[in-house]
C-alpha cells in the first residue's frame, strides 16, 4: 500500500493504522452514536516532506494517469481503461434548462458503462494486493456489474448479493462476467449474508454490510477523486460553479469533493465548486434544513424509477461534502424522468440511465428557484448508460410499427413529416 499511512474518521478525525480491518462500520469510535466512514490518509498527510501531486501522465490511457494520488502504483493496478470520459458541452439541454454553460461528464463511456468502474479498479487492485481471493458486493446493478468485470480481469471470484426486481439487463451483465449472483426476496438479508461471509470465509466486501450505512470501502472511494481531476483538466484549469450528480450513499460525491480539495490544496485551482445531490426520498435535504449532523431515515413514499439511488437514508459522508461545499440536496420524483431521458438522448445523443437524468431534474428545480443562475457553469455527471434499465424506461404501450410495403412506410413518413433533406421539396 504505497504511500498509505492509514485511515482517518471523517467525523472525529481519529487516525487508524493501515492494517485496520475494514468491517463496513466506519469509525469504531463513532459507530454507536454517530456513524461515519473512514478516508484513506497518505504519508503526505502526516509528513509534508513526502511529495504527491496531481500530475497526470499523458502516456497512461486510464485514470491511473493520476496514480500518484491513488493507493497503489499503475503497475499494480487492475485496469480496463476506465476514466478519461468525455466532458461535453450540452448546448441544447442547457438552453432548455436555462443554463447555457451546461456540461455533461459522461460516465457511461467507462468499460462497464458506469462511474462505478472508478471505484472498482482501485478496490479490486487493493483486494488483489492484500491477497483476497473473493470480492463481494451488495448491489442493485451497476456496482455488481463493475465489480464482476474487474474481478474477472484480476482472476478473482466475485459474488453479487442483490434483490428481486433488479434491472434484468444488469443481472445479465453481472452473470456474463462470471460472477455468482444471489438474489434475496428480503433485501435486508443482503447485509447479514455479506457480513457472515466476510467474517467466516474471508471475502473482501467492497459495499456496506452494516446498518446504518456509512458508505463503501474507503480505498475504492479514492477512485472517484479522479472525476474532479479530469473535470478541471478538461476545462483547461477552470472550475465549474456547480457539480450535480445522483446520490445514494454518497461515495462518488465524497470522492469528487476530495478530488477538488486535492487540487485546491496544491494550488491547482483557486476556488471550489458547489455540489448538488439529486436524491429520491430527501434524507440529505432534511438533514441540511435541520442543520443536523445525523442523516435520518425517511419514509419511502413511492416506488422510484431511479432504483440505483432509492435509499431512504443517505450518509454522513454525503452530508459532509454538501455542507463543506455550501451544497444542496434536491429530492427528485418519477414525474417527467422518462421524458427527460428521451429528451437528453434525442438532443444531445446521450442515452442515460434513469438515475442519471435526475441531475437534470435537480438543475431545472434550482434554476426555477434562481439558486443556479443563467451565467453559472454547471457540470452534470451522467453516471450510467440507459441500456442498463431499458426494462424500466421503455414507455408502457410503446410499440414500433412494422411496415409491409414501401408505400406503407412512405405513408408513415408523410404523416410524421419533417424528414426530408433541408431545402428539398417533399414528393409523395
Give the global pTM. 0.93
Q: In 3-state terms, what secondary structure has residue 365?
A: helix
Kindly state the average pLDDT of the residues 392-404.
71
- Grade residue 418 by pLDDT with cuts at 50, 70 and 90: low
pLDDT confidence of residue 398? 60
What stretches of 107-171 adopt beta strand conformation (E)? 134-138, 157-163
Q: What is the pLDDT of residues 234-268, one digit of tens each?
A: 999 999 999 999 999 999 999 999 999 999 999 99
Asked whether residue 420 carries a pLDDT value surpassing 80, the answer given is no
Report pLDDT for 45: 58
- For the record, the C-alpha cell of 69 comes out as 494520488
Query: What cell does 9 get?
Result: 474518521
Mean pLDDT on 329-346: 96
Give the sign of the dihedral formed by CA 89, CA 95, CA 99, CA 105. Answer: negative
Give the sign of the dihedral formed by CA 294, CA 306, CA 119, CA 175: positive
Contacts of 378 (CB under 8 A, 6+ apart): 99, 101, 102, 103, 240, 241, 242, 243, 244, 363, 372
Instruction: Look at 34 and 391; give whichever has higher pLDDT.
Output: 34
User: What integer pLDDT is reported at residue 166 of this predicted model?
Assistant: 63
Mean pLDDT of the chain: 92
Diameter over CA atoms, the chain: 77
Percentage of the chain surpassing pLDDT 70? 93
Give the integer Cα–Cα distance in Å for 203 and 207: 12
pLDDT band at 159 (very low <50, low <70, confident <90, very high): very high
| Model pLDDT, residue 51 | 57
Residue 84 has pLDDT above 90, yes or no: yes
Question: Per-residue pLDDT for 389 more than 90?
Answer: no
Torsion of CA 310, 135, 29, 32, to 10 degrees: 40
Is 417 exposed, middle or buried, given 0-12, 13-18 or 19+ CB atoms closer than 10 A?
A: exposed
Indicate the range of 45-54, 99-108, 382-391 predicted with least confidence: 45-54
**Span 98-118, mean pLDDT?**
98
> Does the pLDDT at position 423 exceed 60?
no
Confidence category of residue 49, pLDDT binned at 50, 70, 90: very low
Give residue-wise pLDDT tens across range 172-225: 899 999 999 998 888 788 899 999 999 999 999 999 999 999 999 999 999 999
Cis peptide before 212 (omega within 30 of 0): yes
Query: What is the pLDDT averaged over residues 295-313?
Result: 94
Q: What is the DSSP string of 50-74?
A: S-------TT-SSGGGGGGGSSS-G
Q: How confident is the model at residue 362 (pLDDT cuts 50, 70, 90)?
A: very high
And the C-alpha cell for 205? 466486501
The arrangement of strands across the sheet holding 101-106 comes to 87-89, 101-106, 377-382, 242-246, 274-279, 328-331
Specify the pLDDT at position 392: 73
Do 308 and 277 meet the contact criterion of CB atoms below 8 Å apart? no
Which distant-in-sequence residues (6+ apart) come within 8 Å of 42 by Cβ? 3, 4, 5, 50, 52
Whole-number pLDDT of residue 48: 46
Within 10 A of 13 (CB to CB), how many other CB atoms are there?
9
How many Å apart are CA 388 and CA 6, to the nearest integer? 36
Amino acid at each position: 500500500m504505497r504511500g498509505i499511512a492509514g485511515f482517518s474518521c471523517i467525523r472525529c478525525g481519529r487516525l487508524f493504522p493501515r492494517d485496520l480491518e475494514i468491517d463496513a462500520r466506519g469509525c469504531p469510535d463513532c459507530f454507536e452514536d454517530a456513524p461515519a466512514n473512514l478516508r484513506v490518509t497518505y504519508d503526505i498527510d502526516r509528513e509534508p516532506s513526502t511529495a504527491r501531486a496531481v500530475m497526470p501522465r499523458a502516456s497512461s490511457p486510464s485514470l491511473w494517469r493520476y496514480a500518484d494520488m491513488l493507493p497503489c502504483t499503475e503497475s499494480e493496478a487492475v485496469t480496463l481503461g476506465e476514466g478519461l470520459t468525455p466532458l461535453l458541452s450540452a448546448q441544447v439541454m442547457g438552453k432548455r434548462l436555462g443554463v447555457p454553460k451546461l456540461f455533461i461528464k459522461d460516465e457511461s463511456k467507462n468499460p462497464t458503462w458506469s462511474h462505478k468502474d472508478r471505484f472498482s479498479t482501485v478496490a479490486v487492485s487493493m483486494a488483489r494486493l492484500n491477497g483476497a481471493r473473493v470480492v463481494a458486493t451488495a448491489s442493485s446493478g451497476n456496482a455488481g456489474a463493475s465489480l464482476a468485470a474487474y474481478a474477472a480481469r484480476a482472476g478473482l471470484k466475485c459474488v453479487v448479493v442483490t434483490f428481486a426486481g433488479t434491472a434484468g439487463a444488469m443481472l445479465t451483465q453481472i452473470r456474463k462476467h462470471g460472477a455468482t449472483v444471489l438474489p434475496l426476496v428480503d433485501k435486508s438479508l443482503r447485509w447479514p449474508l455479506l457480513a457472515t461471509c466476510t467474517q467466516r470465509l474471508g471475502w473482501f466486501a467492497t459495499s456496506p454490510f452494516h446498518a446504518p450505512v456509512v458508505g463503501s470501502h474507503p480505498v475504492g472511494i479514492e477512485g472517484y477523486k479522479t472525476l474532479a481531476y479530469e473535470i478541471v483538466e478538461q476545462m483547461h484549469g477552470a472550475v465549474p460553479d456547480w457539480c450535480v450528480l445522483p446520490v445514494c450513499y454518497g461515495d462518488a460525491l465524497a470522492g469528487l469533493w476530495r478530488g477538488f480539495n486535492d487540487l485546491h490544496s496544491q494550488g491547482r485551482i483557486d476556488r471550489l465548486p458547489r455540489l448538488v445531490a439529486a436524491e429520491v426520498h430527501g434524507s440529505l435535504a432534511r438533514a441540511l434544513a435541520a442543520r443536523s449532523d445525523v442523516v435520518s431515515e425517511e419514509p419511502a413514499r413511492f416506488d422510484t424509477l431511479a432504483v440505483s439511488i432509492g435509499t431512504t437514508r443517505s450518509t454522513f459522508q454525503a452530508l459532509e461534502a454538501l455542507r463543506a461545499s455550501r451544497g444542496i440536496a434536491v429530492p427528485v420524483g418519477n414525474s417527467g424522468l422518462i421524458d427527460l431521458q428521451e429528451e437528453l438522448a434525442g438532443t444531445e445523443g446521450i442515452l442515460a440511465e434513469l438515475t442519471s437524468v435526475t441531475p437534470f431534474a435537480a438543475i431545472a428545480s434550482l434554476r426555477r428557484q434562481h439558486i443556479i443562475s443563467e451565467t453559472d457553469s454547471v457540470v452534470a455527471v451522467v453516471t450510467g448508460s440507459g441500456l442498463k434499465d431499458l426494462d424500466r424506461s421503455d414507455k408502457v404501450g410503446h410499440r414500433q410499427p412494422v411496415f409491409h410495403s414501401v408505400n406503407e412506410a412512405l405513408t408513415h413518413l408523410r404523416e410524421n413529416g419533417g424528414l426530408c433533406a433541408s431545402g428539398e421539396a417533399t414528393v409523395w
